[in-house]
Amino acid sequence: MNPMKIMAAFNTFRSNHPKVVEFFQVVFGQRVEEGTIIEISVTKPGEETITTNMKVKQSDIELFDELKNMSRY
């Protein structure tokens, strides 16, 4: 995993989708509590929308915290 490639790809993603990045910064910038529901929908061209959700567990919070810590390096 090349950190420079990841950073370049993320910068491109941020340029292409600033509202998505801002959304995640607002939501995950604060502590996500256990029991929070996260829902994701995807609509491909010409197809029906599919949606799923998850109820956040303590182990998910620990993963989110680890990912936040990784992003600081």
Q: Which residues, in sequence order, are CB contacts of 64 under 8 Å at separation 6+?
A: 28, 32
Spatial distance between the Cα atoms of 7 and 24, rounded to a whole number of angstroms: 17
- The confidence band for 71, taking pLDDT boundaries of 50, 70 and 90, is low
- pLDDT at residue 22 in the model: 93
For the segment 15-69, what is each residue's pLDDT rounded down to a tens digit?
999 999 999 889 888 888 999 999 999 999 999 999 999 999 999 999 988 877 7
Report the C-alpha gap between 27 and 25 in whole angstroms: 6
Indicate yes or no: pTM above 0.75: no
Cβ-contact 42, 53 below 8 angstroms = no
